[in-house]
Structure 1
Amino acid sequence: MYYILLPFIYLLSWIPFPLFYGVSDLMFVMIYYVFGYRKKVVGQNLRNAFPERSEKEIRAIMRRFYRSFCDVLLETFKTLTISERSAIKRCKLTPEALLLFNRYADENKSIIIVMGHFGNWEWAGNTFSLQCRHHLYVVYHPLSNKHFNGLIYRMRTRFGTGLIAMKDTFREMVQHKAELDATAFIADQTPAPDSAFWLTFLNQDTPVFQGTEKIARKMNYPVVYARVERVKRGYYEISAETLFDEPGRTTDGEITAAHTRALEKDIQRQPESWLWSHRRWKHKRPEITK
């Protein structure tokens, strides 16, 4: 299957952008109207997150989400062949974000970047590696299929980004301690309920990985929240803000709550840009933690 799909993936990555988004439009029709891919999950997630919204508003957000989802999915394949110039043009760092990252580089401080599945997180890694002085490492879950995992690895590392398997995160960060690096965590995935930090997120009891916080406090690296906002179709803007300069001085749960609240605000402002198709709320809060 991998070798059958690979030529089509590369062909798709070479298509000029105007035609490329025509393919995405066709994909939207098939996924949304024909196959109804995870529409029940997406609809229920949206209704629970925005109980004040009418059914008409929920449906409108759903359609915008599926259009965005198709774009981002196909845009990921573009990283196989996109030029450096086009990568930077289509996913820009704001001047303020670039100043923030340069300040930490001037101070020779490694940092932790925390973000969510919002906007185009794949393109953001390319832009950071091309424009910032920190060596970027992204924490990820390797795919079980070694062929597709290799493809994802090539796409994500093409412009110098390094990848760290989640289970090896702390060990590898210690090994890289002499480097000027930035380690990026996608922190809105679903952990096991018993080991998670629980809080209210989008009007629902939500388990959150606390690994980002634990590592930040151990390494005492500044924690920077990054958002990748869709400006218009095919164009994104990366902004950033420091949440904590000295994580070692924070209390338990403080960092986790802060980056989760920051993501919540972004989702409320531009809901179609978040990844609603996952069963983010499949677990119930254990009684003992209430």
Structure 2
Amino acid sequence: MNAVLFYLLLKPLSYVPLPVMHRFSDLLSWLLFRVLGFRKKVILGNLQRSFPEKPAREIDRIAREYYRHLCDLVVEAVRCFSIPEAEIKRRGVIKNPEILEPFFEKQQPVILCAGHYNNWEMTATAMPMYIRHRVVGLYKPLKDSFLNQKITESRSRFGMDMVSIRKTRDFFQADHGVSIILFATDQAPSNPNRAYWTEFLHQDTGVLYGTEAYARKYNYPVIFGYIDKVKRGHYEIRFTVVTDDPGSMPEGAITEAHTRLLEAEIRQKPEFWLWSHRRWKHTRPANWELQTKPSTN
């Protein structure tokens, strides 16, 4: 069924110019927000807890803008199945690739961390066109093997290598060359007892510790990527160095640093973060204090 859906609907739609697809996105966002109320309780609850200082009218505005952004992400993902190389390079720009040059000259792999903010997939897909590092994206495989294959192929079309998170340890242990390894840092941890707990957007939040753990183990510099929406369908990513010497930082400091950077990014334009996912589905274990590194047990 998924193969039929892909070849009869998604693949033909992927050839439609993005400005036309954005018109469909407008209709879809109205339908999801006003008619179906898609995950409206989750979205509004997340926004209200994250911004208790904002009035109800402002929360409603952010929610409306978020639905529009979410639907843009959907149609842009469909377009990426067939988007030409020149177009995606124009739509996913790296503003300061020179940040990575000293590391490449030293043949130094680095870790790039970012959140699910703006169109993280479009900027990641275009990244190999701008930098000399081998670009490696860690991803969580979908349960549907056919769709997983097609989405992985779409993300890999312009040079990015995709590695399942189930094989992260094997990847780091193997010879992976001069790579920049992409970590998404804002997903809910599967095990709250192995998370780093801190306050994030006014809430107790478990943060994945993988970025810091691998940076420390292999002494890889950590870069944070700010993703900005310049205009509809056009994004820019800007790099900033979190640390070029992970071993010199106290335990938890790297995780705390990239979490604060993401929080500041979200506060600036909150409508561009992924509010429809259940980010706070876990509660902090009763015996855990905030700003604590995960248990090694």
Taking structure 1 as the reference length, the TM-score comes to: 0.96
Whole-angstrom CA distance in 1 between matches of 2:35 and 2:116: 25
Match of 1:288 in 2: 287
Amino acid corresponding to residue 89 of structure 1 in structure 2: R
1:126 Cα shift?
Answer: 1.6
Shift of 1:4: 2.5
Match of 2:21 in 1: 20
Q: Report the alpha carbon displacement of residue 225 of structure 1 after superposing the two structures with TM.
A: 0.2
CA distance in 2, matches of 1:17, 1:123: 13
Partner Cα distance (1:173, 1:284) in 2: 31
One-letter identity of the residue aligned with 1:164: V
Q: Distance in 2 between matches of 1:44 and 1:19?
A: 32
CA offsets per residue over residues 208-247 of structure 1, 9 Å max, x none? Answer: 1101110110011110000211111111111010001011
Distance 1:77 1:223 in 2: 31
Look up the match of 1:42: 43
Find the counterpart in structure 2 of residue 209 from structure 1.
208
Q: Specify which of 187, 192, 195 is matched with residue 189 of structure 1.
A: 187
Once residues 249 and 230 of structure 1 are traced to their aligned partners in structure 2, the CA distance between those partners, rounded to angstroms, is 34
Q: Could you say what secondary structure the match of 1:241 adopts?
A: strand
Shift of 1:16: 1.3
* 1:120-139 alignment, distance < 5 Å: 120-139=119-138
Q: Tell me by how many angstroms 1:59 deviates.
A: 0.2
Say which structure is richer in helix: 1
Q: Return the alpha-carbon distance in structure 2 between the equivalents of residues 82 and 273 of structure 1.
A: 22
8 Å CA contact 2:18–2:76 kept in 1: the answer is no
How far off its partner does 1:168 sit? 1.4
Contact 1:115 1:186 in 2 (8 A): yes
Cα displacement (A) at 1:99: 1.0
- Report the RMSD for the aligned CA atoms in angstroms: 1.1
Greater mean deviation of Cα atoms: 11-20 or 52-61: 11-20
Q: What is the DSSP-based 3-state SS (H/G/I as helix, E as strand, rest coil) of the residue aligned with 1:5?
A: helix
- Tell me, yes or no, if the aligned pair for 1:140 and 1:166 is still in contact at 8 Å: yes
Supply the distance in 2 between the matched residues of 1:139 and 1:126 (Cα, whole angstroms): 12
Q: Tell me by how many angstroms 1:88 deviates.
A: 1.2
Counterparts of 2:175 and 2:37, CA distance in 1: 45
Q: What whole-Å deviation, never above 9, does each CA across 1:174-228 have from its counterpart, x for those lacking one?
A: 2134x11110001100012111110000000000110111011001111000021
Per-residue deviation, residues 4-49 of structure 1 (Å, max 9, x unmatched) = 3112111221101221111111111221111111010000000000
Structural mapping, 1:1-290, within 5 Å: 1-6=1-6, 7-94=8-95, 97-177=96-176, 179-191=177-189, 192-290=191-289
Tell me which amino acid in the other structure corresponds to 2:4: I
- Which segments of 5 or more consecutive residues in structure 2 lack a partner in the other structure? 290-297
Contact preservation (8 Å) 1:77, 1:155: no
Q: Which has the higher mean CA deviation after the structures are superposed, 51-60 or 226-235?
A: 226-235
**In structure 1, distance between residues paired with 2:98 and 2:218:** 23
Q: Distance in 2 between matches of 1:126 and 1:193?
A: 31
Rounded Cα–Cα distance in structure 2 between residues aligned with 1:281 and 1:31: 22
Supply the distance in 2 between the matched residues of 1:101 and 1:73 (Cα, whole angstroms): 30
Deviations 1:96-127 (A, max 9, x none): x2110223222221100000000101101122
Give the match's secondary structure for 1:14.
coil
Q: Please say which of residues 155-164 and 258-267 is displaced more in the overlay.
A: 155-164
Moved over 3 A (4+): none
CA–CA distance in 2 between the matches of 1:51 and 1:71?
Answer: 27
- Contact 1:13–1:78 under 8 Å retained in 2: yes
Identity value in percent: 37
Asked if the contact 2:18/2:79 (under 8 Å) is kept, the reply is no
Looking at structure 2, the residues matched to 163 and 188 of structure 1 have their Cα atoms a distance apart, in angstroms, of: 19
Letter in 2 for 1:190: A
Q: What is the rounded CA distance, in whole Å, between the counterparts of 1:3 and 1:225 in structure 2?
A: 37
